[in-house]
Amino acid sequence: MPSEHTPLYQALAEELHGAISDGRLPAGSRLPSVRETARNRALSINTVLAAYRQLETRGQVEARPQSGYFVRSRLPSPPASPLPLKPATAQPAEVAVLGRIEAVLAAQSNPGTIDLSLACPKSSDFYPGRQLNRLVVDTARRKPELLTDYSLPPGPLLLRREICRHAHDLGMTLAPEDIILTNGCMEALQLALRGVTRPGDTIALESPTYFNLISLAEHLGLRTIEVPTHPGQGMSLDALELLLSEKRVQAVVTMPSVHNPLGTSMPVAAKRRLAALAQTWRVPVIEDALYAELQYATPLQPTVKSFDGDGWVILCTSYTKTLAPGFRVGWMEAGRFQRRIAALKFSASLAQPAFLGEVLGAYLETGGYAQHLRRLRRVYAAQVDRLRGVIGSAFPAGTRATEPTGGFLVWVELPEGCDGNHLCDDALERGITITPGSLFSPSGRHGNHIRLSACHHFSDRHVHALLTLGELLQRQIGE
C-alpha cells in the first residue's frame, strides 16, 4: 500500500494496478482519459500520464492512437517455437475434414444457437447502412437504366477508380483497367486458382488456413501441401522456398495481412521476401487480402502485392467484411494473368451488377469510408480484447490465444489433454457453435485449437457461452 511519501503518480499507478489485478478493470476496458482523471483527482496531466505510462511499461495497459489507454489481456500468446522446415506431402483433403466443415456451417444457420465462430459481422452497427440506403435511392433516381440494362464488364468505372485510390493505403499503385470485379472474395480466389492451375496440380496452403480454401481446392481437383504458419512470422518462407526449389507446387495461396484464423499479420520484410520468391521461381502467389483494411495500427502495413514487380502476385479481396455483405462486391488484380482470368470471369458470371457497383463507388467517393474504417478498427480491437479477457478468466490454465493485429478472430490453443473436435460436439449439445482447429488443415491437424469470433455485440448470453466452454474444457481435463 502506498505510503504518504509515495509520489502521486506512483500511488495512482498502484491503485489502478490493483483494480486491474482483481478484475474491477477487466481486459479490454478503457481507462478514463488523462484529462478526466486529472480533473476528477485534482492531479496534473503530467502526473496522470506518468502513472499510465508506468502501467504501459508493466504490460498492463496499452495506448491506442486517438483512442486512449486500454487494459491488456493477461492471456498468453502461443510460444514462438521453431517451425519445422519440411512441409507435409501433397494430398487431397481428408473426407472427415470436409464433412465436419459442412456440419459446422449447418449448425451456424440454426437461429437458436449462440454463434461464437462465424466470421460474419451480424449487427447493422458494423456497417454504414444509412448512408448506403440513401445512395441506393439516389442512384435509382439518377440512373434508373442501371436497373434495366445488362451489366457488362469491366463494370462501373467510378468503383474501379475508387478501388485504386483506396489501394494506396495498402501500398499499392493499381490501374482501373486492371481491376476485375467479382462476386465476393471467394469468387476471386476461385478464378485465381482456375487461372493458374489445372486439375491434378499441387498448391501450397498455410497451416492453419481458411477452411473454405480446403473445400475449394477439393472441388477444383487440386492437391495441397501444408506449409507451417506461425502467428508472429506468418507462413514459413524457408519451407516454402524449399518447395519452390523442388518444383513441387504450381501456386501459393496465403493471407499475410490479418490472417484467418490467426488474426495476425506477416512482418513487412517477409512480405517483401515472398514477392521476391514468386518472381524468382515464377510461381503465382494468390494473396487473400479480405481483412487487410481492418488492421488496427496505422498506417496500414502494405500487401505482398505492393512489392510485386513482375505481376506474379494476384490480389483478391471484397467489401463484405467492411461495408455491405449483401452486395457481394469483391475485386481482384491479377497481374500477368489478367487477360486469362478476365475471360474466366466472363464465361462464369459475365459481370457484376452495375447498380450495386455504382452505389458502392459513390459511397467510396464521399470520403466516408476512411472514417468508417477507423471506427470499425476501434470497435473490433475492443471486442477482441474483451474476448481474450473472458477466455483468460474462464478457460483452464494452460490456455493460450493469439494477439490479433486486426479483424475480429482469435486462435485459441487449448490446454494439454483437450480436444477441439470434442469441445465442438459438446458445445453443440449446449446450443453453442465454435470452429474446431482441425477444419483449418486439409489433414485435420491443429486438433487442440479452436477459432472464436468477436464480430458480435457481447451479451450476457455470449459471456455465459464462453463460461460454458471453460466448464466443458475443465471436464475434458478431469476425464
| Phi and psi, residue 304, nearest 5° | -65, -35
Average pLDDT over residues 141-151: 92
Task: Classify the C-alpha dihedral 174-177-183-189 as positive or negative.
Answer: negative
What average pLDDT does the chain have?
Answer: 91
Neighbours of 123 (CB within 10 A): 9
Q: What count of residues does the chain have? A: 479
| Phi and psi, residue 183, nearest 5° | -85, 80
The answer to whether 436 and 420 are in contact (CB under 8 A) is yes
For position 94, what pLDDT does the model report?
Answer: 66
Task: Please check the confidence at residue 181 and state whether its pLDDT lies above 60.
Answer: yes
The per-residue pLDDT for range 270-284, each reduced to its tens digit, is 999 999 999 999 999
Average pLDDT over residues 384-394: 90
Q: Worst-scoring range by mean pLDDT, 17-21, 247-251, 453-457, 458-462?
A: 17-21
The C-alpha atoms of residue 251 and residue 253 are separated, in whole angstroms, by 7
Average pLDDT over residues 35-44: 92
pLDDT interval class at 436 (50, 70, 90): very high
For position 81, what pLDDT does the model report?
Answer: 47
For position 89, what pLDDT does the model report?
Answer: 66
| Phi and psi, residue 11, nearest 5° | -65, -40
Task: Please check the confidence at residue 3 and state whether its pLDDT lies above 60.
Answer: no
For residue 235, with 0-12 CB atoms within 10 Å meaning exposed, 13-18 middle and 19 or more buried, which class applies? buried
Element containing residue 445 per DSSP (H, E): none
Task: Please check the confidence at residue 344 and state whether its pLDDT lies above 90.
Answer: yes
Locate 144 and state its grid cell.
434508373
Distance of CA 172 to the CA centre of its chain: 20
Average pLDDT over residues 342-365: 95
Higher pLDDT, 253 or 105: 253
The bridge status of strand 61-64 relative to strand 68-71 is antiparallel
Average pLDDT over residues 380-406: 92
Higher pLDDT, 369 or 78: 369
Amino acid present at 85: L
| Phi and psi, residue 107, nearest 5° | -65, -35
The bridge status of strand 313-318 relative to strand 329-333 is antiparallel
Give how far Cα 58 sits from Cα of 45, 71, 74, 458, Å: 20, 11, 12, 28
For position 79, what pLDDT does the model report?
Answer: 65
Task: Classify the C-alpha dihedral 28-33-38-41 as positive or negative.
Answer: negative
The C-alpha atoms of residue 156 and residue 360 are separated, in whole angstroms, by 10
The per-residue pLDDT for range 205-233, each reduced to its tens digit, is 999 999 999 999 999 999 999 999 999 89
- Runs of H (alpha helix) within 412-453: 420-429
Contacts by 86-90, CB closer than 8 A, 24 or more apart: 86/239, 86/242, 87/204, 87/225, 87/226, 87/227, 87/228, 87/239, 87/240, 87/242, 87/243, 88/207, 88/225, 88/226, 88/443, 89/225, 90/202, 90/223, 90/224, 90/225, 90/248
For position 267, what pLDDT does the model report?
Answer: 96
Task: Please check the confidence at residue 111 and state whether its pLDDT lies above 90.
Answer: no
For position 91, what pLDDT does the model report?
Answer: 66
Give how far Cα 273 sits from Cα of 96, 263, 276, 295, Å: 35, 21, 5, 21
pLDDT interval class at 83 (50, 70, 90): very low
Q: Worst-scoring range by mean pLDDT, 338-352, 398-412, 455-469?
A: 455-469
Task: Please check the confidence at residue 130 and state whether its pLDDT lies above 60.
Answer: yes
Task: Please check the confidence at residue 86 and state whether its pLDDT lies above 70.
Answer: no
Average pLDDT over residues 228-247: 95
Domains present along the chain, CATH in parentheses: 8-71 (1.10.10.10), 127-369 (3.40.640.10)
For position 135, what pLDDT does the model report?
Answer: 95
Locate 272 and state its grid cell.
517483401
Amino acid present at 105: L
The per-residue pLDDT for range 314-327, each reduced to its tens digit, is 999 999 999 999 99
Task: Please check the confidence at residue 4 and state whether its pLDDT lies above 80.
Answer: no
In sequence order, the 6+-apart residues with CB closer than 8 A to the CB of 53 are: none
For position 280, what pLDDT does the model report?
Answer: 98
The C-alpha atoms of residue 302 and residue 300 are separated, in whole angstroms, by 6
In sequence order, the 6+-apart residues with CB closer than 8 A to the CB of 274 are: 235, 237, 240, 254, 256, 266, 285, 304, 307
The C-alpha atoms of residue 210 and residue 292 are separated, in whole angstroms, by 15
For position 2, what pLDDT does the model report?
Answer: 52
| Phi and psi, residue 173, nearest 5° | -115, 105
Percent of the chain at pLDDT exceeding 90: 71
Give how far Cα 331 sits from Cα of 39, 176, 386, Å: 50, 11, 33
In sequence order, the 6+-apart residues with CB closer than 8 A to the CB of 364 are: 159, 162, 163, 165, 166
Nearest to 73 by CA among 120, 26, 122, 18: 26
Of 69-78, 125-134, 169-178, the range with the highest mean pLDDT is 169-178
Average pLDDT over residues 381-385: 88
Locate 37 and state its grid cell.
482523471
Q: 368-394 and 460-478 helices cross at what angle (nearest 10)?
A: 40
The per-residue pLDDT for range 296-305, each reduced to its tens digit, is 988 999 999 9
For position 87, what pLDDT does the model report?
Answer: 61
Dihedral-angle region of residue 223 (phi above 0 means left; psi in -120 to 50 means alpha; beta otherwise): beta
Give how far Cα 306 sits from Cα of 140, 161, 187, 217, 395, Å: 36, 17, 22, 26, 40
